[in-house]
A and B are shown apart, each in its own frame.
Chain A
Amino acid sequence: MELPEPFLPGAISLLEQLDKKMMVVLRDGKTLVGYLRTIDQFANLVLHNTVERIYVDNYYGDIIRGIFLVRGENVVLAGEMDEDERPNTLIQVTVAEILEMQQAKFNAKKEADAARSEALRARGKLPPPRENVDILGDEPY
Chain B
Amino acid sequence: MVGKEVIVEFKNDFMLTGTLHSVDQYLNMKVTDISVHNPEKYPYMISVKNAFIRGSVIRYVHLPTESVNFPLLQDSTRKEIMNNRKEKKAPAAEA
Contact = CB atoms under 8 A, between A and B. Distances in A.
B93 to A, nearest CB: 31
B47 A86 contact: yes
B44 A17 contact: no
Given A10-B25, A23-B44, A136 B50 contact: no
A23 B26 CA distance: 21
B43 interface: yes
B27 to A, nearest CB: 10
Output the residue of B10, B29, B54 with the most chain A CB within 10 A: B54
B60 interface: no
A52 B48 CA distance: 16
Report, as a range, how many residues of chain A touch the other chain: 35 or more
B50 to A, nearest CB: 5
Contact of A77 (B24, B46, B54): B54
Report, as a range, how many residues of chain B touch the other chain: 20 to 34
Contacts of A43: 28, 52, 54
A76 B44 contact: no
Nearest to A14: B52
A78 interface: yes
A79 B43 contact: no
Interface of A: 1, 10-12, 14, 17, 23, 25, 27, 31, 43, 53, 55, 58, 60, 72-73, 75-82, 85-90, 135-138
26 contacts: A1-B22, A11-B24, A11-B26, A12-B22, A12-B23, A12-B30, A12-B52, A17-B52, A23-B47, A27-B57, A43-B52, A55-B44, A75-B57, A76-B53, A77-B52, A78-B51, A79-B45, A79-B49, A79-B52, A80-B51, A82-B47, A85-B47, A86-B47, A89-B46, A90-B43, A136-B57
Given A12-B29, A81-B48, A135-B12, 17 more contacts: A17-B52, A23-B48, A27-B57, A31-B44, A72-B54, A77-B51, A78-B54, A79-B45, A79-B50, A80-B49, A80-B51, A82-B48, A82-B49, A85-B47, A87-B47, A136-B10, A138-B11
